[in-house]
A and B are shown apart, each in its own frame.
Chain A
Amino acid sequence: MILPTDQFPPTQKPSESVSGVTVRLAGDSGDGMQLLGTQLTNTSALSGNDVATFPDFPAEIRAPRGTRAGVSGFQVQFSAEEIFTPGDGLDALVCMNPAALTTNLTDLKKSGILIVNSDSFEAKDLKLAKLEESPLEDGTTDPYRTIHVPMTKLTRGAVESTGLSTKFADRCKNFFAMGLVFWLYGRDVEPTLRFIDNKFGKKAPEVAEANRLALKAGWNYGETTEDFASTYQVSAAELKKGNYKNVMGNQALAWGLISAAKLSDKDLFLGSYPITPASDILHELSKHKNFGVRTFQAEDEIAAVCSAIGAAFGGSMAVTTSSGPGIALKGEGMGLGLMLELPMIIIDVQRGGPSTGLPTKTEQSDLLMAMYGRNGESPLPVVAAQSPADCFRTAIEAWQIATRYMIPVMILSDGYIANGAEPWRIPEVDSLPKIPVSHPAGQKQNGEPFLPYKRDENLARPWAIPGTEGLMHRVGGLEKEDGTGNVSYDPDNHQHMVETRANKVAKAAEFLDPLEVDGPDSGTLVLSWGGTYGSCRTAVKACQENGKSVAHAHLRWINPFPRNLGEVLKRYDNVLIPELNTGQLRLIIRNEFLVDAKGFNKIKGKPFSVTELVEAIEAIA
């Protein structure tokens, strides 16, 4: 269809140019805030802004309506400059009900824009949010530029012509809010109109029409109401030249895995059991079977990891994905993977723990489990992705290490980067590294026994796969004799094998990039890892601008550490390690380098804000 973009004329009101904006959309989990947020992010990215997002939703699918527990939020920062976080203080906050307002208002900057659906502040709504008085009337919203919009009424009126029942009409409210926000920031409606058409155009044309009408009503409301004197303009960011696409962490991980499989000429096998926030990797991979991807939804996480090992034995690129509780179950299997010296990838998308913990909230508290959470001496390479787009590169690197050293590799992601989005510079396929993988060829059995544990210069053993003539061999979890792979209880051999497995991990440092440091060679070093990259980088920059001697280094590989880490650490008087846990990396760093590193630790299920990091750094710098 021809999209009715002409029904959204540019504003006649004055437009103020700003370098960047942080908006949060908050409502009931049934209000469609995640959809609104994704659309706003998408159109902003397409217009050339740098973007970063932070969706935040309850663990329950339909948490009690109207309650504080049921509030679902989506924050996005879009900017004309390069950004690394979804922003701290909000420039604008959209609240669809009193519960959303109460739980989010403190993050709005003083004199920031507060848009509320004034129709949802009735006595019953206040009661659901456990409020005595309406925050719209008791002075709570006084410090802000509050705009009361009777969204329910206006949306019902706008979609009346479609004949939808009030129940369905009310579902279009998020599109009304979207129209208003798009108008306020001069966003292009075309991608959203296309989205509506693709999603509902054929299946439910009246719903498509209603959403378009609501979007338009919101847009027009902005233009007509006297509450807004002007709009805002955010121009395109100066990103590196290239083609871009907006990606979420889990999607980028899945694409990185698919790419790694192609680059090594392997078929990909995923064994997985659904768990928040990792399931989207399973969903995404399941869509791409034409890449030779086989996905197996196992009966539990143990079967998931074991099936992956079975596939690795057969010669596939094997992957298993989960979050903390599932990784705990996989421990024994991962140890076997290490003993068998087969390449595979284990992904832990971390969430708040322990136990079921905070399924939809972010945390970095599985680092020690990834490093040490298996029986026996069982070190595995561990790499942590630093941002949504970085997940792509991480998957490829992990597979490079896994195949080069014949070892299972752990990837750590977290809920924040798994669901967060940012622009990804699409690589030229030819620029991606080929990943050489080979299997020994068959041979006649002529008395010379095949040695399944004979090692190459990387200590890797040959990846001989079933079906190959003459290379029949047995693998297993019992300690094996180096070379022959036969079961061995010999004391010296055991020590040798434990050391050899550890040496493989250590050797990987030769292949990996050294640590880069951003900032001066002395003073304070902020050492971060994983998903806190963006906030730490932004905070250090702010401190540097404040004239402090602060440098930033970010670890992606934690096992092995970059080969120059010890030398970098020595240069600084202070080392500060901010983590979303009680100090797990700090424990390792202090142990390994005898450095008196300080911690800045937050365990609230939330990412760091830049402001709190700046305060923490400046307190010691």
Chain B
Amino acid sequence: MSTELPVLKAKDFESDQDVRWCPGCGDYSILAQMKKVLADIGAKKESTVFVSGIGCSSRFPYYMDTYGMHSIHGRAPAFATGLKSTRPELDVWVITGDGDALSIGGNHLVHVIRRNLDINIVLFNNSIYGLTKGQYSPTSKIGKVTKSTPRGSIDHPLNPLSIAIAAEGTFVARSVDTNIKHLCETFKRAHAHKGTSFVEVYQNCNVFNDGIWDYAKDKKTKDQSTVVLEHGKPLVYDNGTKGIRLNGFQPEIVELDGNVAVDDLLFHNEKETQPHLANVLARMRFPEFPEPIGVFRAVERPTYDEGINQQVEEAQAEQGVGDLAKLYAAGDTWTV
């Protein structure tokens, strides 16, 4: 007789709650891929937890039939830290938006990444505050006209990947909401990575910021405007006609017309321990450059949850499991 557990399908990860995003929102695709990935990797519903902040994107946990916490604005990494530190066997995902993660929650994001807590963070970057109906966000470009910036934004934008790399993130990646295959692959790799996995997903908000990522999504343009990163492979794009070469610390676009050897191109090494190269890639922005899609960095470093639990185990091995009577009697006491 077979003792195999029933295999879960993507649909099994769906909760009984109605999804309330606007029709056409990029969040739908991300939700669908997440369910598929969890089914593919054989995740258990009861061992999976989605923790989110506040925003359209942060409604995500309600739609998954796993454990979930829709917390407060910007603080999801902190909730995840308490949960994962005490329950390291759980699979914890943090779902956040560009405002949630980079504005109100910027502090927590940086710290969770540098601690390398073994969780997966998915940042839905729509470059706008969706839930509050369309104010500019920390990733909005200078000049962006929104309800709160009628004369255009004057804030220099943040680059989410540069932040993650500066915090010495051990897994840093970018994908696109409608690039289904790539998104699934990226989630699987994020899940497999031990330590904080940080994934920026270009997400379309068709109500307040429609089309901002079209250059990276549209079949007609995406080959010219993005370059897919593959470990150990040269950076080649636009149907093999163009490549990226390093000139000192500066990337430059070269035509692969026979005058430049492929060997002279920049070869992607996601395992490079120094973060400089990953940041060179993170700073390549459209339209000056094709924007890299894929895993920028995947290195190893001890995780926070391992560390905090290891110290408990060591203390118990050295001092014995805590005993209250002994605790009370330690040091100077006297009897009346």
1/0 per residue, CB under 8 A from A, across B78-95: the answer is: 111111111101100000
A562 within 8 A of B: no
B residues in contact with A476, CB < 8 Å: 61-62, 68-71
The answer for the CA separation of A51 and B50 in the assembled complex, in Å, is: 52
A residues in contact with B315, CB < 8 Å: 288-290
B residues in contact with A449, CB < 8 Å: 16
B37 within 8 A of A: no
- Minimum Cβ distance to chain A for residue B129 (Å): 18
The answer for the CA separation of A47 and B333 in the assembled complex, in Å, is: 10
B residues in contact with A296, CB < 8 Å: 81-82, 85, 308
A20 within 8 A of B: no
Q: How many CB-defined contacts (below 8 Å) exist between A and B?
A: 209
B27 within 8 A of A: no
A453 within 8 A of B: no
Closest to A293 in B: B312
Interface centre among B66, B82, B309, B314 (most CB of A within 10 A): B82
1/0 per residue, CB under 8 A from B, across A268-306: the answer is: 010100000000000000001111111010111011101
By the criterion CB–CB under 8 Å, are B333 and A245 in contact?
A: yes
By the criterion CB–CB under 8 Å, are B62 and A487 in contact?
A: yes
A514 within 8 A of B: no
Closest to B77 in A: A303
Q: Assuming A299-B111, A467-B87, is B327 touching A245 (CB within 8 A)?
A: no
A45 within 8 A of B: yes
Q: Which of B68, B81, B322, B336 is A310 in contact with, Cβ under 8 Å?
A: B81
By the criterion CB–CB under 8 Å, are A310 and B66 in contact?
A: no
- Minimum Cβ distance to chain A for residue B178 (Å): 26
B75 within 8 A of A: yes
Closest to B81 in A: A307
Give A206-243 interface residues, CB cut-off 8 Å to B. Answer: 236, 239-243
A residues in contact with B15, CB < 8 Å: 474
A residues in contact with B47, CB < 8 Å: 466-467
Closest to A468 in B: B46
B2 within 8 A of A: no
By the criterion CB–CB under 8 Å, are B69 and A313 in contact?
A: yes
By the criterion CB–CB under 8 Å, are A243 and B46 in contact?
A: no
Give A247-265 interface residues, CB cut-off 8 Å to B. Answer: 255, 258-259, 262
By the criterion CB–CB under 8 Å, are A309 and B67 in contact?
A: no
Q: Assuming A244-B334, A245-B331, A471-B46, is B72 touching A333 (CB within 8 A)?
A: yes
Q: Which of A239, A271, A300, A477 is B82 in contact with, Cβ under 8 Å?
A: A271
**Interface size, chain A (Cβ < 8 Å):** 74
The answer for the CA separation of A294 and B90 in the assembled complex, in Å, is: 17
The answer for the CA separation of A493 and B66 in the assembled complex, in Å, is: 25
1/0 per residue, CB under 8 A from A, across B288-315: the answer is: 0000000000000000000011011011
A143 within 8 A of B: no
A336 within 8 A of B: yes
A residues in contact with B249, CB < 8 Å: none
Q: Which of A42, A299, A312 is B332 in contact with, Cβ under 8 Å?
A: A42
A residues in contact with B71, CB < 8 Å: 306, 309, 336, 476-477
Which of A314-322, A382-390, A568-576 binds B?
A: A314-322
The answer for the CA separation of A48 and B334 in the assembled complex, in Å, is: 7
A residues in contact with B67, CB < 8 Å: 466, 472-474
Give A483-522 interface residues, CB cut-off 8 Å to B. Answer: 486-487
B residues in contact with A308, CB < 8 Å: 82
B335 within 8 A of A: yes
By the criterion CB–CB under 8 Å, are A242 and B79 in contact?
A: no
The answer for the CA separation of A467 and B84 in the assembled complex, in Å, is: 12
B residues in contact with A306, CB < 8 Å: 71-72, 75, 78-79, 82, 108
1/0 per residue, CB under 8 A from A, across B130-146: the answer is: 00000000000000000
B residues in contact with A139, CB < 8 Å: none
Q: Assuming A311-B85, A314-B83, A314-B90, is B332 touching A292 (CB within 8 A)?
A: no
A residues in contact with B83, CB < 8 Å: 310-311, 313-314, 466
The answer for the CA separation of A333 and B68 in the assembled complex, in Å, is: 17
- Minimum Cβ distance to chain B for residue A291 (Å): 3
A46 within 8 A of B: yes
B325 within 8 A of A: yes
Closest to A392 in B: B328
A470 within 8 A of B: yes
A residues in contact with B1, CB < 8 Å: none
- Minimum Cβ distance to chain A for residue B313 (Å): 9
The answer for the CA separation of A332 and B73 in the assembled complex, in Å, is: 10
Closest to A240 in B: B336
The answer for the CA separation of A573 and B245 in the assembled complex, in Å, is: 90
By the criterion CB–CB under 8 Å, are B86 and A316 in contact?
A: yes
By the criterion CB–CB under 8 Å, are A290 and B82 in contact?
A: no
Q: Which of B77, B309, B332 is A245 in contact with, Cβ under 8 Å?
A: B332
B261 within 8 A of A: no
A residues in contact with B54, CB < 8 Å: 477
A residues in contact with B111, CB < 8 Å: 298-299, 303
By the criterion CB–CB under 8 Å, are B334 and A310 in contact?
A: no
Closest to B51 in A: A310
Interface centre among A293, A309, A468, A486 (most CB of B within 10 A): A309
* 12 A-B interface contacts by CB (under 8 A): A245-B331, A271-B78, A290-B318, A296-B81, A299-B108, A309-B82, A314-B90, A426-B329, A466-B67, A474-B15, A474-B69, A475-B69
Using A310-B84, A474-B17 as known contacts, list a sample of 16 further A-B pairs with CB atoms less than 8 Å apart, ordered by residue number in A: A42-B332, A45-B332, A245-B328, A271-B82, A290-B312, A291-B321, A291-B322, A299-B108, A313-B82, A316-B86, A333-B72, A426-B333, A466-B87, A471-B46, A473-B68, A476-B68
In order of increasing CB-CB distance, the 7 nearest A-B pairs are A310-B82, A476-B70, A291-B322, A307-B82, A306-B78, A311-B82, A310-B79
